Copies of this chain bind each other. A is one copy, B any other.
C-alpha cells in the first residue's frame, strides 16, 4: 500500500531566543514513537525565527518618509521593517506590499509577520539563511536521535491569481526540493518535457494541514515521501530570466 503519513508534533512550548529547536522537535517526536530515517521534519518558520532572535520591537524603529508615504493606514514602523527586509517591491497597493526578500522569495510584507509574535509590538522576520537553519536543525537532530532525516523550514505565502495562502519551503536540508521528470515517459510514450514538481512546497502545504495556524503544532513529521538529493530552497525561486511575472 502506497501511503504517506503526516504526524503532528504537539506539546512544543513557546519558543524563545536561544532555544534548541531540534531538541524540542526531537522530544516531541519521541512522544509519537520517534523519528525514523528518511522522515521529512517540517518546522514552521515562526519558531525557527524566534529561536534565532529574528524579532524586531516596533518601539525601537523610526520610519522613513517613504515608509510613511506607502503605509496606507498600517503602522509606518511596520512598513519600515518590511522595507528593510525587501530587496525589491513587486507590487504595492497600500497597505498591501508584495516584495522580493533578500533571499529571493516573493511574498507579502517581505515575510515580516505580526501574528504569533512574542509580544504585541513585535514583528517576526524570516531567518537570515533558512537553508542554514534547516541544515543546523538536521545535523542536531541526527546528533540527538541518530536518525538521518530531511528538514524543511516552511512559511505561508500568498499566490498570484489564487485566493488564500499555502505553505511553501523557504529552507531545506537533506532532500531534493524539485522532482525533475524530464525525459521520463508516460504510459503512451509522450515525453513529460515540462514537468518539474515542487515537492518541497507540496510537502510544506501538506504539513500545514496538520499544523493549523492558531494551534500549537509548529512542526510535523512527513513519513513516506523522502526525495533523493540535497537541494536548497533557493532552487524553488524563479530565476529572473525565466520569470514572466517580474
**A interface list, Cβ under 8 A from B:** 1-8, 10, 14, 32, 91, 93, 96, 98, 100, 105-106, 108, 114-120, 156, 159-168, 178-179, 181, 184-192, 194-199, 201-203, 205-206, 208-210, 213-214, 216-217, 225, 235-238, 243-245
Contact A189 B120 (CB under 8 A): yes
- 10 A-B pairs, CB-CB below 8 angstroms? A4-B206, A114-B190, A116-B188, A117-B188, A119-B188, A120-B190, A159-B160, A160-B238, A164-B196, A192-B213
Q: Are B202 and A163 in contact (CB under 8 A)?
A: no
Report A67 CB to chain B, min CB distance, Å. Answer: 19
Given contacts A4-B6, A156-B195, contact A162 B119 (CB under 8 A): no
| Chain B residue contacts of A186, Cβ below 8 A | 115-116, 213-214
A168: chain B residues within 8 A (beta carbon): 162
B8 & A190 in contact (Cβ 8 Å cutoff): no
* Cα of A32 to Cα of B3 in the assembled complex, Å: 10
When chains A and B are docked, how far (Å) is the Cα of A2 from the Cα of B12?
14
Q: Given the complex, which residues of B lie within 8 Å of A10, measured CB to CB? A: 2
Complex formed: what's the CA distance from A203 to B106 in Å? Answer: 23
Copies in the complex: 2
| A4 to B32 Cα, complex, angstroms | 14
**Contact yes or no, B217 A2, CB < 8 A:** yes
Distance, CA A156 to CA B205, complexed state (A): 14
Query: Quick one: given A10-B2, A245-B91, are A165 and B237 in contact (CB under 8 Å)?
Result: no
With beta carbons under 8 angstroms apart, the residue of B119, B166, B197, B206 that contacts A197 is B166
User: A7 touches which one: B2, B7, B100, B225 (CB < 8 A)?
Assistant: B2
On chain B, the residues within 8 Å of A115 by CB distance are 186, 190-192, 195
Query: In the complex, what distance in Å separates the CA atom of A32 from the CA atom of B91?
Result: 48
A115 to chain B, nearest CB (A): 5
Cα distance A103–B240 in the bound complex, in angstroms: 29
- Bound together, the chains give a CA A199 to CA B214 distance in angstroms of 15
Of the candidates B8, B165, B190, B237, the one whose C-beta lies within 8 Å of that of A195 is: B165
In the bound complex, do residue A106 and residue B161 qualify as a contact, i.e. CB atoms below 8 Å apart? Answer: yes
Residues of B within 8 A of A237 (CB): 161-163
B206 and A209 form a contact (CB under 8 A): yes
Contact B188 A199 (CB under 8 A): no
Which chain B residues border A189 with CB–CB below 8 Å?
120
